[in-house]
Structure 1
């Protein structure tokens, strides 16, 4: 497992952290859901957002208040916990492709959205499975986002502050921190080839932050209009906007020790 590179941002950055980043670090922490209890916390949050709020038909059993499926057995689940209120503000998962050639399991988008994967070069089948993953099920609790029109609630006017070398307000920062955590997780476990299903407008917003996902499929109806996107984690880490770099490295350093031996149980 890769260890965080503290020299990847300038010396003295910690001492010069933006007050907003300091506040975020004091109020939130990322938890890799390794126990059954923690994993069900993630499933419960997903149920609230995806099923109750957005009415998506996701998961295996709609009769229970936990949204989960077979891919969770091969996924790293991560929670964003608000320490002041002792509530979970967000969650995400990284589904790992099998590194065993005899294991033919597919990533979620290969299984459910194969007809939408149209790029002949940037297709999951073109990569070594041991370097491949999919980021999915990112959700922010409605109490921790200002917009309720999607599971993440980002607005362009908030992210445009990054282009002026300024951080967005706390609510969008919660959402962005989930993508930073996903970037950290896939880098730490060496799954650099990353796929995700996203709304095109959301991919455009992430591009402002430096996360330049490339569309590799047609827009299809999958819980609304979505397309397959691809990014190399190493490019994502390199291209992050400067105001997000200190927060990213803090998140990566806080997650790294939690991932010890994580791959051995997936």
Structure 2
């Protein structure tokens, strides 16, 4: 069994459409962003959840370890709404990093608002990170057999593929993301080629704004990842029943 097959056999994608599933994603985000990285983000410190106002309109994908049910990762799609509160009509990067956006054409203000979204809050549980494959990691020998750990390195790519599928299902093909400089290079190796559209800005570390057209991204995926993408897309299609763009968000129901 190759790494891609092992990844699919080990993990399952779940659209967080219920309060319970969404809280599992918020708890994972809190563990990574607040406790581990100490980012200054909105949180419920008593419940150990990390979420913000954009989550009320966001779609969230949770990646779960099949055998144990442990959340391994999550990612969210934030739509730019055409109605509703003013704060939700702007993408998070427009609110926090607008002055850093310098591209003459690939700018949220120059693209159709109803087709815009931002991918953010991608979190991977420390238990499943690449270092968990090393023999010295305390969780590796007790929780996961070696054949499962072989697929852990694909978690990040898998989450981006899930986000790409969700973008297409929501009809929001113009995608922005704030990323540290190493991540776009790693994603380009797998065919996901983002364009830098902004200057460096300090926002949870040094980051830049990036853009990708979801339709082009799908056509440029290498064959082996295209097959995985198609299966992820089918899974999410079954779960979403293809939400309309103007209804892309689901209540967080905290």
Q: Report the TM-score, using the length of structure 2 for normalisation.
A: 0.85
Of residues 118, 123, 138 in structure 2, which corresponds to 1:134?
Answer: 118
Within 2, Cα distance between the matches of 1:228 and 1:93? 16
1:86 aligned partner: 69
Is residue 2:109 matched to residue 1:125?
yes
**What is the CA deviation profile of residues 97-127 of structure 1, one whole-angstrom value per residue up to 9, with x for unaligned ones?**
1133995621100011112111121111111
Distance 1:110 1:122, change over 3 A: same
SS at match of 1:135: strand
2:170 aligned partner: 189
**What is the CA deviation profile of residues 68-108 of structure 1, one whole-angstrom value per residue up to 9, with x for unaligned ones?**
00000110011001111210100000001113399562110
2:23 aligned partner: 40
Of residues 173, 180, 205 in structure 2, which corresponds to 1:224?
Answer: 205
1:238 aligned partner: 219
Within 2, Cα distance between the matches of 1:23 and 1:261? 28
Of residues 61, 67, 71 in structure 1, which corresponds to 2:50?
Answer: 67
CA RMSD of aligned residues (A): 2.1
Of residues 39, 59, 64 in structure 2, which corresponds to 1:76?
Answer: 59
Within 2, Cα distance between the matches of 1:83 and 1:102? 38
Count, aligned residues: 230
SS at match of 1:41: helix
Of residues 136, 153, 156 in structure 2, which corresponds to 1:172?
Answer: 153
Give the CA deviation at 1:61: 4.2
1:98 aligned partner: 81
**What is the CA deviation profile of residues 201-241 of structure 1, one whole-angstrom value per residue up to 9, with x for unaligned ones?**
11111111111000000011111110000000011101112
Within 1, Cα distance between the matches of 2:85 and 2:7? 44
Give the CA deviation at 1:20: 2.8
Within 2, Cα distance between the matches of 1:178 and 1:265? 18
SS at match of 2:154: helix
Give the CA deviation at 1:147: 4.3
Q: Report the TM-score, using the length of structure 1 for normalisation.
A: 0.81
1:154 aligned partner: none
Stretches of structure 1 lacking an aligned partner (at least 5 in a row): 1-17, 149-168
Within 1, Cα distance between the matches of 2:13 and 2:184? 23
**Contact 2:43 2:49 (8 Å CA) reproduced:** no
Within 2, Cα distance between the matches of 1:102 and 1:32? 24
SS at match of 2:119: strand
